[in-house]
Amino acid sequence: MKKEVLGRVVEAKVTDENQTAYFVQVEALTCRLTKTEVENHLELGDIVKGFVYENEDHQLQMTFKIPAVGINQYAFGEVVAVRRDLGVFVDIGLPNKDLAVSLDELPEQHNLWPKEHDHLMVALTLDHKDRMWGTLATAEVFQQLAVKAEPTMMNQDVTVTAYRLKLAGTLVITPDFQLGFIHPSERDREPRLGEQMKARVIGVRPDGLLNISLRPRAYEAIGEDAAMLVAALEHQGGSLPFWDKSSPAEIKSYFGISKGQFKRAVGHLLKNGLIEQKDGQIFLKSIDK
């Protein structure tokens, strides 16, 4: 009987009330409906419609706050707690109830488990004891939800969420449901399941899948002085009449930094292949933006 009601939106009849709650009945089951959710007074016999779940006190409860997550219905929820002996708990918007995702569905390595504030796409499922659990969306579910990325996304900054961890790399999804892939060479460490990250698009495949990098652009990884030199070069059409033999006074007057700072900045840019020196000048090479 519970299986036909739990985790679903159903109609129920008001059968009783006390100071804090109404009691509604559906399929011979009685559920609590908190009065703070009800705008107008309900009478015995009234029919109401809401989402039924088992609250943290193991009581059946109905809520008018219908979650996006349901039986075979997937949506993202925020991780609010982690228990190594059980799994993680996800907030799906229910009053007094967070949804547990079993450790059996999580990575074997604990360092790859989601942390608080990470996001998992889950649906509801019931076990043989009619207990509600969260189950992770499969790769096939993400494929069904996917939106094909356009070539114009090339070089864009994006926020991505890791939804599957593989030896070959990390599968991610954007807020607009474009799917992406992070090769191990494009990250400094393996992301956690559910981790949200700032990233950039380094490729758009013909099938609409994004190639994603967690590494900064070359000019973002070179420090403030070097970035300032790049900006000055761009402003002056790609070349400046300065190099590492220029006088400290000239450098200070034009850039506002010491010659030591200038030389270090030039060194960083040369190392990253962003500039070249020739005939007393520095020249800007093409930059991957």
pLDDT tens readout for residues 140-179: 999 999 999 999 999 899 999 999 999 899 999 999 999 9
| Residue 276, SS3 per DSSP | strand
* pLDDT range class, residue 289, cuts 50, 70, 90: very low
- Type of residue at 89: F
CATH code of the domain made up of 219-284: 1.10.10.10
Instruction: Give percent helix, percent strand, percent coil of the chain, each to the nearest 5.
Output: 20, 40, 40
**54, 60 in Cβ contact below 8 A?**
yes
- Could you read off the pLDDT of 71-82 as tens digits, one per residue? 999 999 999 999
pLDDT surpassing 70 at residue 220: no
Helices H / strands E in the chain, number of each: 4, 18
- Which element (helix H / strand E) includes 204? strand 196-204
The token pair at 181 is: 């892939």
Instruction: Please give the model's pTM, rounded to 2 decimal places.
Output: 0.74
CATH code of the domain made up of 75-137: 2.40.50.140
Q: What pLDDT sits at residue 229?
A: 87
Cα 122–Cα 113–Cα 142 angle in degrees, nearest 5 = 35
CATH 3.30.590.20 fits 2-63, yes or no: no
Domains 141-213 and 219-284 are alike in CATH topology: no
Give the residue-averaged pLDDT of 78-89: 97
Give the residue-averaged pLDDT of 86-109: 95
DSSP 206: T
Give me the CATH topology for the region 141-213.
OB fold (Dihydrolipoamide Acetyltransferase, E2P) (2.40.50)
Q: Taking the domains of the chain in order of start, what are their residue ranges?
A: 2-63, 75-137, 141-213, 219-284
The residues near 73 (Cβ < 8 Å, ≥ 6 apart) are 123, 124
- Could you read off the pLDDT of 106-136 as tens digits, one per residue? 999 999 999 999 999 999 999 988 899 999 9
The token pair at 46 is: 């009234």
pLDDT surpassing 50 at residue 47: yes
Q: Could you write out the DSSP letters of every residue in 77-125?
A: EEEEEEETTTEEEEE-S-TT--EEEEGGGS-SSGGGS--TT-EEEEEEE
Return d(Cα 56, Cα 32) in angstroms, integer.
13
Q: What pLDDT sits at residue 130?
A: 87
